[in-house]
Amino acid sequence: MTVKPKHESSSSEEDIPLKATVSNTKASTLKKVKKVRKVAPKKEESSEEEDDEALSKAVKKRKKVRKENASKTKKIKIEDAIDSKVEKTNPDDKSDDSDTFRWWEQEENGDNTVKWVTLRHNGVMFPPEYVPLPSHVKLYYDGKPVDLPPQAEEVAGFFGGLLESDHAKNPVFQKNFFKDFLDVLNENGGTRNNIEIKSFEKCDFTKMFEYYQLQREEKKRLTPQEKKLIKLEKDKLEEPYKFCYLDGRKEQVGNFKLEPPDLFRGRGAHPKTGKLKRRVYPEDIVLNLDKDAPIPVPPAGHKWGEIRHDNTVQWLCMWRENISNSFKYVRLAANSSLKGMSDYKKFEKARELKKYIDLIRAEYTKNLKSKVMLERQISVATYLIDVFALRAGGEKSEDEADTVGCCSLRYEHVTLKPPTTVVFDFLGKDSIRYYQEVEVNKQVFKNLSIFKRPPKQPGHQLFDRLDPSILNKHLQNYMPGLTAKVFRTFNASKTMQDQLDLIPNEGTIAEKLMRYNAANRKVAILCNHQRTVTRGHVTSVQKATEKIEELEWAKIRYKKAILQLDKSQLKKDPNFFREIDDLTNEEQQAIHKRLIEREREKYNKKFIRENDKRKFENEELLPESDLQSWLASVDELEKQYAEELESGIVTVKPALQDVDKLRSQIEKLEQRIATSSLQLKDKEENSTVALSTSKISYIDPRLSVAFCKKYNVPLEKVFTKALREKFQWAIESADANWRFCET
DNA sequence: AGCCTGACTTAGGATGCCAACA
DNA sequence: TGTTGGCATCCTAAGTCAGGCT
C-alpha cells in the first residue's frame, strides 16, 4: 500500500531574525486544523439523520418533478427516434474518421456557456438486480448459518467479496460496514432464522468469499468461444447507451453505466470508508436533454427523477450519492468534441501563462518582503505552487481524509533546516505522500519560519490568511483565468518540452522511446504522481538482483580460470582481477544453492511434462531411472561446486581452457551485467512513479506529436489507442516544429 | 463577504487482456 | 503451451474552482 506516514513533526524551530515588520498573529485568529465545519449545526452529527434529510428532500423534489413531467413523457422507441431525427451527412460511411467533428479546424468560438443546441441520448445503463446466493452459501454467525433477507445478504456479500483485501482488515471499514449492514438487516425484518447478529467478530464471511472465488475461476475456465459469446451479448446490451447525439453528431458517452451499489472504498484514512453506497434508482436520476428530445423510457415500473434541458452544462445524467451527498454525472467520453475543446483550452491557457510568468515571478520574489502579512503569504504560496507544483489545497471537512495542498499546509508538514533547506512531508490528494527535502529561496525560508512562529504549533495553518479563492483572485490580476492549477499544467508541459529538447535525434526507436519516457518521468516526479508497487515487484526485483549476482559469480569464476592457466596475467593486468575475491564463501554458497536448486527443478519439471505428453499420446513413459540419472548429474555439479569452494580451484569446460576464449566470455558477461543492471535500475525507479497521469492530463499532447514527427517515432509507441482518440485534435494540428512555448 | 453547491478535471487502484518468455 | 508480468482500460474517488445565495 501507499506510504502514509503520520510522522512526528520534528520541531526544528530556528528563530530567524527578521527586519520587516509582520503583522502579529494572534492565537485567536489562527485557524485550527480541525476546524469545526461552518455548516448548520444540525448537519453535523449522525449520518442517519443526514441520509433521512437528504432522502426526504430528494423525494419531495422528485414528486414535484414527476408532476411537472408527467404529461411530457412520450413512449417512443428511443433509439429509432434518435436515429430518425439525425440527418447524417454521409449516410453510408461507417468509418468514424469522416464522422468526427473537426472542431479544431473551425473558427474559434468565444462563447463558453452554451455547450450544445441539441442533445439526445438513451439515459444510463442500470446494473443488474441483485441475485440471491444459492442456499448453501451463507454468512455464519457464531458458527451457525444465517438466513438473511436478500437486501442484507447483498451487503454482507459486498464485504465477503473483499475479505482478503486490505479494506476488510481496516477497523474503520469494518465498523462502517457493520453498522450499515445491521441497518439494512433491521429495515428488512432481521434474520429469518432468529439469529441475532450483534458482533462483527462473530461473523464469518468465508463461505461467501469462497463462492465468489469459485465463480471467478469458473468464468476464467470458459472456452474462448463461450467468452466471445458472452461479450457479444454484453455489447448488445450496452450499445444503446454508448453513444449520444450532440448537435446531431454521434459522440461517445463516457461512464454510461450507473455505479452499482457497493461498500464505499475511500482512500487513505477516510472516516466513511466501508459505508454502504446504496443502489441508485431511476427516481434518483436527473436527465439532461434538449427540449424536443424524446425522453428515454425508464425501466419498467419506474420514473425518472427529473428531466432537465440545460444546455450550459455537458452532463447527460446526474444523481446524488449517499456517501458525501454530492453529485455524480454521466458525461461524454474523453474523445468527444466537448472534452477535446476544454482540453485544448486548458493547454492554451497554460501556454498563455508564459507571457506573464516572468512578471509574476518577479513580483512574488519582491513581495516576499512585503510588510503586509497577506502579501507575504500569497508570495510564498505562489512560489511553492510555481516551483514545486503543489496543488491549491482547499479546506476539507472532518468527514473526509485529512489531506492537504499548498494553502492548507499545516505547521507539522514543513520542517526547516537552516540555512535554506525545507522538508515537506504531508499527504496530498488521494492520501499520496509528498516528501521532498529541498533548497528554497532565502526569503522564502525566512517567511516560512515566520509562519511557524509561536504561538503557532502543530495543527495550525501555515497560511492562516490564505485560501485558494484569495490566491486565485490575486492571480487573476495578472492574467484572466489564471488559477493555481494552471501553474501545474504550465510547468509540467514546459518541463516536458525542455526535456525533449535535450534528446539527440539519433539511435534506434527504442532508444528514443526510452528517452521520451525518461522525460515523461521527470514530469511525473515533478507532479508527484505515484503508484503503489505492484504485487510482484519485490520478488521480481529480488530475482533480477540474484540474476546479476550470478552473472558476477560466473565472471569471477572465469577470471579465476584464467589465472589458473596463466599466473602471469595477474601482474600484467592487476586491475582486471581486482574483484576476484569480492564474493564471500557464504555468498558463493548461496549462489551455488540457487543454481543447483534451479537445475533440479528444471529436470523434475521436464520429466513430468514429458510424461504428461507421452501419456496423452499413448506413448511409452520415461522410466523413473531417467529422472534419477538426470538428477545424478546435478548432484555431480553440486559436488563440483562444493569442491571449488573448498580448494579455490575452478573447473571449466575443456573448450574454455584458453585465456582468449575466457576473456571473450567475460566480456559477454559484462555486457549482460550492464544491461541487466540498467534494467533493474529502471525498474526500481519506475516502480513508484506513475507516468500515465501526466501524459493524460498535464503534458500538452502536441509536444508528443511534434516529438514523434521530428524523431520519426511511430505515434502509437507513445499514445495508446484511447489516447490517440482523445488527442486527435493535437495529432492533426501539430507539426514537427510545434512548440509549447518559446524557451 | 463568506459559504456552499454544482460541475468540471485529475487521480490511483482493480481488472482484464495480451504478448513475451521459459 | 502455460505462466506471468506489463500495459490498457475501467472505475470511481478526490481534487479545483466559479458562481449563486444568504
Same domain, A550 and A596: yes
Q: Looking at the predicted structure, is the pLDDT value of residue A237 above 80?
A: yes
- Residues A167 and A274: beta-carbon distance below 8 Å: yes
Nearest nucleotide to A350 by CA–C1' distance? B9
CATH number at residue A243: 2.170.11.10
If asked whether residues A198 and A233 sit together in one domain, one would say no
Q: A462 and A368: one domain?
A: yes
Report how far residue A506's alpha carbon sits from residue A412's, in angstroms, rounded to the nearest whole number: 48
Check whether A47 has a pLDDT greater than 60.
no
Taking alpha carbons only, the member of A51, A526, A706 closest to residue A321 is A51
User: Which of A383, A516, A641, A698 is the catalytic position?
Assistant: A698
Please check whether residues A274 and A303 belong to one and the same domain.
Answer: yes
Indicate whether A394 pLDDT > 50. yes
Higher pLDDT, A49 or A193: A193
Catalytic-residue membership of A698: yes
Inside any domain, residue A434: yes
Taking a C-beta distance cutoff of 8 angstroms, is the pair A62, A305 a contact?
yes
What confidence tier does A81 reach under pLDDT thresholds 50, 70, 90?
Answer: very low
Cβ(A514)–Cβ(A686) under 8 Å? no
**Is it the case that residue A43 has pLDDT exceeding 80?**
no
pLDDT score at A84: 38
Nearest to A743 by CA among A498, A516, A520: A498
pLDDT for A469 equals 93
Look at residue A333 in the predicted model and tell me its pLDDT.
94
> Can you give the pLDDT at residue A581?
82
Q: Residue A111 corresponds to which cell in the numbers above?
A: 462563447
Q: For A405-430, how does the pLDDT look when each residue is reduced to its tens digit (9 = 90+)?
A: 999 999 999 999 999 999 999 999 99
Q: pLDDT at position A591, please?
A: 83
More confident residue, A672 or A30: A672
Q: Is the pLDDT of residue A88 over 80?
A: no
List all nucleotides in chain C with at least one atom under 7 A from a protein Cβ.
4-19
Determine the pLDDT at residue A82. Answer: 42
Answer for the pair A665, A652: CB distance below 8 angstroms, yes or no.
Answer: no
What are the φ and ψ backbone dihedral angles of A337, each rounded to 5 degrees?
A: -65, -40
* A425 Cβ neighbours under 8 A, 6+ residues apart: A5, A7, A413, A415, A433, A434, A435
Residue A707: domain span: 507-526+689-733
Number of H helices, E strands in chain A: 23, 15
Distance A63 CA to B12 C1' (A): 39
Q: Is the CB of A528 under 7 A from strand B?
A: yes
Q: What is the pLDDT of residue A543?
A: 79
Between A556 and A705, the higher pLDDT residue = A705
C-alpha span between A699 and A571 (Å, rounded): 56
Give the closest residue to C9 (Cα–C1′). A722
Percent of chain A at pLDDT > 90 equals: 56
Q: Which residue is nearest to nucleotide B4 (CA to C1')?
A: A39
| A307 and A355 in a common domain | no
Distance A508 CA to C11 C1' (A): 37
Q: Where does a domain end: A221, A236, A271?
A: A221
The owner of cell 492554451 is A348
Q: Note whether A728 and A334 are within 8 A (CB).
A: no
Q: Are residues A154 and A267 in the same domain?
A: no
Residue A488 above 50 pLDDT? yes
CATH of the domain at A514: 1.10.132.10
Q: Look at residues A292, A131, A102 and name the one whose alpha carbon lies nearest to residue A728.
A: A102
The mean pLDDT value for A423-446 works out to: 95
* A727 is a domain residue: yes
Q: Which residue is it, cell 520574489?
A: A365
Interatomic distance A694 CA / B10 C1' (Å): 9
Q: What are phi and psi of A305, to 5 degrees?
A: -65, -45
CA of A428, C1' of C15: distance in angstroms: 10
**Statement to judge: residues A682 and A698 lie in one domain:** no
Based on the fold, state whether residues A550 and A676 are members of the same structural domain. yes
Report the distance separating Cα A581 and Cα A555, nearest Å: 12
Q: How far apart, in whole angstroms, are the C-alpha atoms of residue A82 and residue A460?
A: 57
Are A541 and A682 members of one domain?
yes
Residue lying closest to nucleotide C5, CA to C1': A536
Q: Where are the beta strands (DSSP E) in A290-420?
A: 306-308, 317-320, 327-330, 414-417
Proximity of residue A259 CB to strand C below 7 A:
yes
Nucleotide nearest to A325 (CA to C1'): B5
**Does residue A80 form part of some domain?**
no
The pTM (predicted TM-score) of the whole model is 0.78
Residue A591: CB partners within 8 Å, gap ≥ 6? Answer: A549, A550, A553, A583
Same domain, A443 and A518: no
Q: What is the CA radius of gyration of chain A?
A: 33
pLDDT score, position A23: 33
Estimate in Å the CA A215 to C1' C2 gap, whole number.
Answer: 22
A298, part of any domain: yes
E strands present in A256-360: 262-263, 276-277, 286-288, 306-308, 317-320, 327-330
**Sign of the CA dihedral A582, A585, A587, A593?**
positive
Higher pLDDT, residue A17 or A288: A288
Q: What are phi and psi of A330, to 5 degrees?
A: -95, 125
Q: Is the CB of A311 under 7 A from strand B?
A: no
Asked if strand B contacts A710 at the CB level, meaning under 7 A, the answer is no
Q: When comparing pLDDT for A692 and A589, which is higher?
A: A692
- CA–C1' A39–C21 (A): 14
**Position with higher pLDDT, A21 vs A718:** A718
With the CA atoms of A445, A447, A451 and A453 taken in that order, what torsion angle do they form, in degrees rounded to the nearest 10?
Answer: 80
* Residue A31 is assigned to a structural domain of this protein: no
- The model's confidence at residue A108, banded by pLDDT at 50, 70 and 90, is low
- Domains identified in chain A, total number: 5
Give, in Å, how far the C1' of C5 lies from the CA of A543.
13
Average pLDDT of A571-600?
82
A37 strand C contact, CB < 7 Å: no
Same domain, A327 and A190: no
CA of A233, C1' of B17: distance in angstroms: 19
Residue numbers in A 264-283, CB below 7 Å of strand C: 264-268, 270, 277
Distance CA A577, CA A559 (A): 7
Determine if strand C comes within 7 Å of the CB of A484: yes
pLDDT of residue A8 exceeding 80: no
Does the CB of A430 fall within 7 Å of any strand B atom?
Answer: yes
Å from A534 (CA) to B13 (C1')? 10
Average pLDDT, chain A: 82
Q: Which residue is nearest to nucleotide C4 (CA to C1')?
A: A536
pLDDT at residue A90, rounded to an integer: 37
Q: Assess whether A391 (CB) lies less than 7 A from strand C.
A: yes
- Smallest CA–C1' separation from A488, nucleotide: B10
pLDDT band at A117 (very low <50, low <70, confident <90, very high): very high
Burial A348-373 (b: 16+ CB within 10 A, else e): ebbbbbeeebeebeebbeebbebeeb
Closest CA to A308 of A64, A110, A84, A127: A64
Residue A19, pLDDT above cutoff 50: no
The residue to which cell 458525501 is assigned: A324
Burial class (CB in 10 A: 0-12, 13-18, 19+), A631: middle
Say if A299 falls within a structural domain: yes
Among A281, A310, A333, the domain boundary falls at A333
Quick one: pLDDT at residue A719? Answer: 93
State mean pLDDT over A386-415.
94
Q: Choose the final residue of a domain: A171, A193, A221.
A: A221
pLDDT of residue A98: 52
Strand C, CB < 7 A, residues 661-700 of A: 683, 692
- pLDDT above 70 as % of chain A: 85
Q: What is the pLDDT of residue A254?
A: 94
Q: What is the pLDDT of residues A285-343, one digit of tens each?
A: 999 999 999 999 999 999 999 999 999 999 999 999 999 999 999 999 999 999 999 99
Q: Does any strand B atom come closer than 7 Å to the Cβ of A690?
A: yes
Confidence of residue A111 (pLDDT cuts 50, 70, 90): low
**Chain B footprint bases within 7 A of protein beta carbons:** 2-4, 6-14, 17
Nearest C-alpha neighbor of A649 from the set A550, A563, A591? A563
pLDDT at A288: 95
Q: Is the CB of A721 under 7 A from strand C?
A: yes
Q: Domain containing A179 — which CATH number?
A: 1.10.10.41
Which range (A211-220, A249-258, A516-525) has the least confidence? A211-220
Q: Name the E strands within A183-309.
A: 203-204, 243-246, 249-252, 262-263, 276-277, 286-288, 306-308
Cell of A522: 521527470
In this structure, is residue A450 part of a structural domain?
A: yes
Same domain, A588 and A628: yes
Let me know if residue A676 belongs to a domain. Answer: yes
